[in-house]
């Protein structure tokens, strides 16, 4: 009798594992009509031979990430619209928002993930449909929030490959310099011209791709991750700011609230940065207009007198992001680019803006994809 029960349970376990394996391997690609419209919200200055700084504020949703090809279609449509408007040339520097690459973690997943009502449930589907990848990532996960770490780490090799192929491909296709927002990867680095993840801590990083589709320099790692991410994303050393040469001038990248620290602009000035790109993100319904919660990183600069609640989140971004605001910063132009859209129960509500010669030019609309351009 005992042998019979053992055989029964063994057969049931094998059947369950086989069924789960078949379910996990099935990746149907549903039909999806994406909104490819984008509006030119700001066009400042006069075209010349010095190039331009172009921020693309996309409107994205989980289904846009069902495959890299689908995301390429949407971003290429935005760039084609910019080309039709005469905004692309050999000296154009295009800037995309923070975490536009991080969501490649959900590429190629099952319909249940994209249809989930909350981010937490979507991440459960991600782990359930990739059990071996998740188990391997869980073993090497670090910190107190190992579950979040494992979710971000489990597909890092595929994410890095897709990130370079997609954004490097767009840079080459449209013959522009492209600041590819940011992506969270374990210890990312450029080796032999390829973006490679390591095995250590997770960093929120940005890569700049040249007109040939290849990376320019090493990834810029975020120095001041926000409160909600500090237990998962590692802070980079405060002195590790890279400036790269582009056809439009020397370019520095400050990710998110790294742009709120005056010392970072002094470092950029010391390296001769002429352009500053700020891939950024604000999450939460109406968060842009809600009271500012203070510095999102681990410390508040001594030279900053603003206190939480003194102004709104959006006003704080305009006040603290010092791109192209003499004498605080010697760059000739800067752009802060936010993502629009909603990932499950997490809406993105930031509003992009440009800076040039001490003046700011903003997109006042709360919805939709936008282009913001400044001629140099």
Number of other residues whose CB lies within 10 A of the CB of residue 293? 13
Token match 């810029």: residue? 220
**Domains identified in the chain and CATH numbers:** 39-101+162-187+205-375 (3.60.110.10)
What's the pLDDT at 145? 87
Kindly report the backbone phi and psi dihedral angles of residue 89, in degrees, each rounded to the nearest multiple of 5, phi listed first.
Answer: -150, 180
Instruction: Pull the structure tokens for residue 193.
Output: 């011209």
What's the pLDDT at 143? 78
Tens of pLDDT along the chain (376 residues) come to: 555 444 444 443 333 344 444 444 554 555 566 789 999 999 999 998 999 999 999 999 999 999 999 999 999 999 999 999 999 999 999 999 999 999 999 999 999 999 999 999 999 999 999 999 999 999 888 877 899 999 999 999 999 999 999 999 999 999 999 999 999 999 999 999 999 999 889 999 999 999 999 999 999 999 988 756 667 898 887 668 989 999 999 999 999 999 999 999 999 999 999 999 999 999 999 999 999 988 876 677 877 888 888 899 999 999 999 776 777 778 999 999 999 999 999 999 999 999 998 889 988 776 899 999 999 9
Q: What is the pTM of this model?
A: 0.90
Beta pairing class for 353-356 and 333-337: antiparallel
Residue 6's alpha-carbon distances to 2, 3, 9, 29, 124, in angstroms, are 6, 5, 5, 40, 31
Burial class (CB in 10 A: 0-12, 13-18, 19+), 69: exposed
Burial class (CB in 10 A: 0-12, 13-18, 19+), 121: middle
Residue 282 neighbours by CB under 8 Å, 6+ apart = 288, 313, 314, 317, 338, 348, 349, 350
Using alpha carbons only, give the angle 332, 96, 48 rounded to the nearest 5 degrees: 40
What's the pLDDT at 294? 86
């Amino acid at each position: 009798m005992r042998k019979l029960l053992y055989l029964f349970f063994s057969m049931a376990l094998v059947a369950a594992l086989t069924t789960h394996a078949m379910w996990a391997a099935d990746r149907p690609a549903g039909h999806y009509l994406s909104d490819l419209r984008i509006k030119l919200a700001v066009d400042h200055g006069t075209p010349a031979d010095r190039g331009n700084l172009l921020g693309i504020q996309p409107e994205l949703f989980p289904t846009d990430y069902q495959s890299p090809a689908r995301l390429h279609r949407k971003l290429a449509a935005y760039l084609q619209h910019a080309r039709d408007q005469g905004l692309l040339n050999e000296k154009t520097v295009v800037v995309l928002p923070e975490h536009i690459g991080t969501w490649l973690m959900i590429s190629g997943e099952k319909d249940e993930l994209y249809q989930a009502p909350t981010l937490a449930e979507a991440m459960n589907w991600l782990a359930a449909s990739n059990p071996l990848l998740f188990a391997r990532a869980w073993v090497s996960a670090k910190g107190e929030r190992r579950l979040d770490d494992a979710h971000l780490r489990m597909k890092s090799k595929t994410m890095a490959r897709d990130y370079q192929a997609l954004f490097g491909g767009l840079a080459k296709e449209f013959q522009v310099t492209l600041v590819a927002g940011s992506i969270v990867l374990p210890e990312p680095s450029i080796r032999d011209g390829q973006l490679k993840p390591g095995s250590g801590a997770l960093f929120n990083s940005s890569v700049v791709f040249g007109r040939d589709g290849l990376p320019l320099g090493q990834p810029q790692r975020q120095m001041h991750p926000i409160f909600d991410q500090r237990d998962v994303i590692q802070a980079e050393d405060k002195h590790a700011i890279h400036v790269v040469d582009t056809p439009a001038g020397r370019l520095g990248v400050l990710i998110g609230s790294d742009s709120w620290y005056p010392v970072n602009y002094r470092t950029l000035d010391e390296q001769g940065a002429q352009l500053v790109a700020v891939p950024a993100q604000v999450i939460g319904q109406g968060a842009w207009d809600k009271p500012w919660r203070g510095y999102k990183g681990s410390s508040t600069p001594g030279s900053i007198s603003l206190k939480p609640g003194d102004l709104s989140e959006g006003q704080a971004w305009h006040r603290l992001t010092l791109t192209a605001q003499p004498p605080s910063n010697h760059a000739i132009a800067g752009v802060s680019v936010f993502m629009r859209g909603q990932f499950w129960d997490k809406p993105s509500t930031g509003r992009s803006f440009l800076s040039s010669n001490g003046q700011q030019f903003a997109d006042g609309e709360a919805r939709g994809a936008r282009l913001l351009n400044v001629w140099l």
